[in-house]
Amino acid sequence: MKPEGDTGEPSVDAVNSTDAASPNERLMEQVVARDNMWAALRRIEQNSGAPGVDGMTVDQLRGYLKTDWLRIKAGLLADTYKPQAVRRVEIPKPDGGKRLLGIPSVVDRLIQQALLQVLTSIFDPTFSDYSFGFRPGRSAHQAVELARQYIEAGYDWVVDIDLERFFDTVGHDKLMARVWRAVKDKRVLHLIRRYLQAGVMLNGVVVTNEEGTPQGGPLSPLLANIMLDDLDRLLTERGHRFVRYADDCNIYVRSQRAGERVMSTVRGFVEKRLGLRVNEQKSKVDRPRNRKFLGFSFFRRLGVHIRIAPKSIERFKARIREITSRSNGWGMERRIRALIAFRRGWAMYFRLATARDVLVDLDQWTLRRLRLCQWKQWKRVRTRLRELRALGLPEWKCRESAFSRKAYWRMSGGPLNRAMPRAHWRARGIIPLSEYFAGSPAR
């Protein structure tokens, strides 16, 4: 049997186990080696994460391995290990849709991580220099900076390719045929296929899947890069300037006409050769300033600069509204801890952008939301008087504010601004976003 669409390449079961010449014939021994498993265990414990269908937590994993690891190891070496089904979780997407994640059991996450560490050393050196997603030593910032360089060099039209439900539609046979090119250990190949076909637990029933690689497991990003490596090779052979981060691919050209031609070629290759689908609604040939790439966009002003995409700013505000919502039942200290953690992570990611003016606006808006929360918590007049006096306001101002009938939002932007200025919130840990953007010039 040959995988559909990949003639000339044998299926997993056709791999010759006596091929002594293959350097990857005994990969499973490398997977279960002590040092590799210890490194995998440390990574799983560092990442933590939710339990799978069996309910076992990361904290319970070491104790379980003390009694059961030899049995699991023997099953892996004998090619008899059977993964558990994954637990399906729906994560809201910014556009209103839902992203389906498959959460493997912690034991399967451990094995997948051990597999990933061995397979990365085989596959990663063969990947394109223009592929940046989920690869050691590469980052989203490098991808965005390369895109900026393309635009500055005059390639100021972008072919923005969005693959429709990529992780849910990958054909197993097509993917395994590509893994087989570099992996000759049948046990490893069989184990990967079992993970692909492990199924999803829905309402207590395991539903098998004939296609797709569930997002949520350590192995999925590497399998995605293996599947899309053929696309990278096609674009490289044709001399295109492109950047790919997982299933997000941008190709930069000099004209709209060239972009339409490239879009047609890539669409045909992706759908016919890879068996995937291009999302026609989200894929477009356009100016880079009108598109979003990894949360960033671009603008020209004495050169090409990186900016925060408008949708990323909207998501920032949406998250701040969740943290400062009156209905979430949080106290002020909990809100501040959540704000500090979120703002730090957000700023460290977007620090590549030229965005000083935007950051000032977001800081002012965030502090106003905090003052709004604080004022709502001081419901009684006497509470407001006591707290405003403690903040050092003149007595007449304390009384004027405490007895005011102005709306919450109006109060948060006026009288309370004097009572709780930036210095007040800095003392409680709210650092201005601009301080994370060291060296970012004003827009």
SS3 197: coil
Q: What's this model's pTM, rounded to 2 decimal places? A: 0.83
Alpha helices in 1-84 (DSSP H): 27-31, 34-47, 61-77
Cβ 104 vs Cβ 112: under 8 Å: yes
Q: What is the CA 307 to chain-centroid distance, rounded?
A: 19
Pick the closest to residue 183 from 342, 22, 318 (CA basis).
22
Looking at residue 376, its pLDDT comes to: 83
Nearest alpha carbon to residue 419 among 379, 399, 389, 396: 389
Task: Using the structure block, give the residue that is written with the tokens 């989200």.
Answer: 282
pLDDT at 249 over 50: yes
φ and ψ at 246, to 5 degrees? 55, -125
The 10s digit of each residue's pLDDT in 283-300 is 999 999 999 999 999 999
Average pLDDT over residues 230-252: 95
Q: How far is CA 41 from CA 52, 109, 183, 262, 436, in A?
A: 16, 9, 24, 44, 32
The pLDDT assigned to 420 comes to 87
Q: Which amino acid is at 312?
A: S
- State the Cα–Cα distance between residues 50 and 58, nearest whole angstrom: 8
- Give yes or no for residue 132 having a pLDDT over 70: yes
The pLDDT of residue 314: 95
Q: Taking the alpha carbons of 116, 15, 227, 198 in that order, is the dihedral positive or negative?
A: negative
Task: Write the pLDDT tens digit of every residue in 428-437.
Answer: 999 999 888 7
Distance between CA 126 and CA 58 in Å, rounded? 33
Return the DSSP state at 248: E
Q: What's the pLDDT score for residue 212?
A: 57
pLDDT band at 331 (very low <50, low <70, confident <90, very high): confident
CB atoms within 10 A of CB 29: 14
Burial class of residue 207 in the structure, from the number of CB atoms within 10 Å of its CB (0-12 exposed, 13-18 middle, 19+ buried):
exposed
